[in-house]
Structure 1
C-alpha cells in the first residue's frame, strides 16, 4: 500500500516552517536588509550614536574626526528622509484596515495612523528642502509641522498600545484561571502553558514598543521646542533616539 502524501495545502506550510528554523544568520540578515525599515533603522543607530559622541564632547572640537562625524551625521539624517518617500501610504492602508469596534478605538486609530501618515507626508517636503529643490526658507516651518504631526501620532500610538497591553493582561488572567481549573481536574494543560508563554513574549514586545514610542515622542517635543529646556539637552535626545533605534531594529529582526 502506497504511503499517503500530505495534502498540497499543508506541504508549503511545513516546508516554510522548516526553512525558517534552518535559516542561518547571513540569510536572515539578507532578508532584513532587503526591507526599507531594515536599512532605515541601521542608519538611525548610526546617526544617534554619532550624535551621542558629538553632544557628549568625547572628541576634542579641534579634531578633524569631529568635523567628519558632524558631516556624516547630517548626511545620514538626509538619507533617512529619502527612505521615507511614500511611506505615508502604509499608514493610509493601516487606517483603512483598522477594526473600528468602538468610537474610542476609531478616534485613537485616526490620531495614531493619521498623525504618523501626515508626518511622513510632510517629511518628503522636508527632504526636498534639505536637498535644495525647495527653497531652504521653508525648511523651518516644514520641520515644525512635521514635529507636531509626529507628536500627535505617537500620542495615539501609545494610547492604543496601552489598551493592547491591558487586553493581553486580561487574556493572561483568563488563562491562569483555566490552567488552575485543569490542574484541579488532573488534566493536561500543555496547550494553555504554551499560550501563556506566547502572551508573555507578546507583552514584553508591546512594552518595548511603548518605550520606543515614548522615546520618539520625547524627541518630537524637543523638535517642537527647538531643544529649549533642561530636559531636552542634546545627550538625552540622542540617547532617546538610540534607544528607539535599537528597539525597532530588534522588532524588525524578529518579524523577518
Structure 2
C-alpha cells in the first residue's frame, strides 16, 4: 500500500515547539530606537540632553549675549525645561509602588526608602503643580510659586540623599558577592573543575556593579544641581557652567541606562 503523500508531508514538517527568537541586543537600530522613543523616559532624557547642551553653550559664552541667536537659544532652553515637566505627570505613582514593593529588612532600610521614594515622589507631585502654574492654568502669586519651587528642590535633594545611601549599600553587598565568587572560582581552578558557569555569573555581577556605579554618579550630579536649586544658585558649587555640565553627565548616563533596558 502506497503511503499517502499528504500524511508523509505532515509527518516530515512539524512545527518547532521552541522556535528560535532573535535576541534583543541584535535588534535593528531603528527598531530599538522606536522602542526607546515609545517610552516616556526615552523622550524625557533626549529633551534633557538637548536642554543641558543648550545650557552649556549659553553658560560658556560661546555665543555673544548680543547675538540674536543667544536669546532664541535661551528661550528654547526654557521651553524645553517646561516641556520636560509635562512628562512627569503621574510619575510620583511609581515611587508609591516602589515603596510598597520594597523589601525593607531593617530600620535603616525603612529610613533610606522613606527618604528616597518619599522625597522623589513628593518632588514629582509638586512638579505637576509647578508645571500647571508655569503653563498658566493655575494662578499663583510669585511668592507662592517660589515656595512651591523651593519645596520641590528640597524634596528632590532629600530623594537623592536616600537614593545615594541605597546605592552605596547595594555596592557594598555586590562587592562582597564578587569576592565570594572570585574565591569560589580560585578553589575550583585548583581542583581542576570547570568554571564557565561561575565566570558567566562573575561577568554579569560586574556589569551590574558598573551600572550601579553609573547610577551613583548620576545621583551625585543630580544632587549637586538640587543643592544649587535649594541655595537659589548661590555658592561656590553653583556656577552655571558646572551645573550645566552636571546636568549633561546625568542626562547621558540616564539615556544609556534607558537604552539598555528597552
Q: Which band: TM-score by shorter chain? A: over 0.9
Query: Is residue 57 of structure 2 the alignment partner of residue 58 of structure 1?
Result: no
> What is the deviation of 1:56?
1.2
The 5 A counterparts of 1:157-172 are: 157-172=163-178
Aligned to 1:41: 45
Aligned length: 250
The TM-score with structure 2 as length reference comes to 0.92
Q: Quickly say closer, same or farther: Cα 1:21–1:153, change in 2 above 3 A.
A: closer
* 1:87 aligned residue: 91
RMSD: 1.6
Map Cα deviations across residues 174-201 of structure 1 (whole Å, 9 max, x no partner).
0011001101110000010111111111
**CA 1:166/1:5 → structure 2, altered by over 3 Å: closer, same or farther?**
farther
* 2:184 is the counterpart of 1:155: no
- Normalising by structure 1, report the TM-score: 0.94
Secondary structure of 1:232's counterpart equals coil
User: Alignment partner of 2:237: what SS?
Assistant: helix
Q: Does 1:255 align with 2:261?
A: yes
Greater Rg by CA: 2
Distance 1:144 1:29, change over 3 A: same
Question: Within the alignment, does 1:240 sit opposite 2:246 as a pair?
Answer: yes
50 and 169 in structure 1: CA distance in 2 versus 1, 3 angstrom threshold: same
Pairwise CA distance, 1:102:
1.6
CA distance in 2, matches of 1:250, 1:22: 17
Worse-matched range after superposition: 145-154 or 133-142: 133-142
Shift of 1:5: 6.8
Aligned CA distance change for structure 1 residues 171 and 6 (closer, same or farther; 3 Å): farther
Q: For structure 2, which runs of at least 5 residues remain unmatched after alignment?
A: 1-10
Residue from 183, 201, 205 that aligns with 1:199: 205
